[in-house]
Amino acid sequence: MPIKIENCSFSYRRNIPVLRDLSMSFKEGNTVLLGPNGAGKSTLMSLAASELEPDRGQISLVDGPARASRRELREYRRRVSWLPQQVRPVGGLRVREQVAYAGWLKGMTRRAAWDASQPALGSVALSDLAHRRSSELSGGQLRRLGIAQALVHEAEVVLMDEPTAGLDPLQRAGFRELLENLPGTVSTIVSTHQTEDLADTYDEVVVLEKGTVKFQGSVSDFLATASPDAAPGRQAESAYARFVKAEV
């Protein structure tokens, strides 16, 4: 079901294009979007989230219409959620209230958002903290709160920008477990430049460099591009270096 990008171009300034005539489709499941800083990952994620609109081309759900009207854009935003790098507590709100508030902002009625907030918290193992003030959560708990906010309105695709940046190995393991336990109807697209947990976490790999897709395929196909001399456990790093040599 996820997202289709057709002939999209985008520039922050007219003479410096970030993406040019990009066409691709993200698949169902867990996809990792790899690339060095400046590759265009955050721009592509912002376009997919409808936070930005392309200068040319169109973005749509694979099984849905393009975002050509307000009604279509509302439907797109209902089905696609955006989790930025920093999830911030809303002052004065408790955990369940903040999740319900996110649902209300997406167009749900207050009652529907409140009813849906508890299952959303359950999906990220935060039910026991529902009545705690969101400002009292740890960084890892805030990240889970952000995912609950993304799921409360029954999103089918969750976009995550650098969700493991700054996390230690134990916290990254918690993030992997969280992805594994998401509802089967939810697909994720995760932007990162880290390759450590790739084989244990994702189904599909997309490598972006300078606004161009250098690789798209399964994790096994990606790892197969590694150098034969790659040390055990370093295959993902070796494969990544093949496609972004100038940045290594």
Q: Edge-to-edge strand order for the sheet containing 204-209?
A: 80-83, 157-161, 187-192, 30-34, 204-209, 212-218
Q: Is the pLDDT of residue 151 over 80?
A: yes
d(CA 248, CA 203): 24
- Which of 58-72, 85-99, 138-152 is predicted most confidently? 85-99
Q: Is the pLDDT of residue 19 over 50?
A: yes
Percent of all residues in the chain with a pLDDT value above 70, rounded to a whole number: 96
Place of tokens 């790659």: 230
Q: Is the pLDDT of residue 173 over 70?
A: yes
What number is the average pLDDT over the span 5-23? 89
- pLDDT one-digit tens code per residue, 88-128: 999 999 999 999 999 998 888 999 999 999 999 988 889 99
The confidence band for 83, taking pLDDT boundaries of 50, 70 and 90, is confident
Listed by start position, the domains of the chain span 3-86+156-247
CATH number, domain 3-86+156-247: 3.40.50.300
Which positions ≥6 away from 41 have C-beta within 8 Å? 33, 35, 161, 191, 193, 208
Q: Is the pLDDT of residue 12 over 90?
A: no
The confidence band for 141, taking pLDDT boundaries of 50, 70 and 90, is confident
Strands (E), the chain: 3-13, 16-25, 30-34, 56-61, 80-83, 157-161, 187-192, 204-209, 212-218
The confidence band for 137, taking pLDDT boundaries of 50, 70 and 90, is very high
Instruction: Kindly state the tokens that stand for 160.
Output: 């995550």
Active site residues: 162
d(CA 60, CA 54): 12
What number is the average pLDDT over the span 221-236? 90
Task: Give residue 66's Cα distance to chain centre.
Answer: 20
Identify the pLDDT of residue 247. Answer: 46
Task: Give the DSSP letter string of 49-62.
Answer: TTSS--SEEEEEET
Identify the pLDDT of residue 248. Answer: 41
Q: Is the pLDDT of residue 172 over 80?
A: no
d(CA 69, CA 225): 42
Contact 32, 204 (CB under 8 A): yes
Which positions ≥6 away from 137 have C-beta within 8 Å? 89, 95, 129, 145
What number is the average pLDDT over the span 175-198? 84
Q: Is the pLDDT of residue 233 over 50?
A: yes
Identify the pLDDT of residue 245. Answer: 66
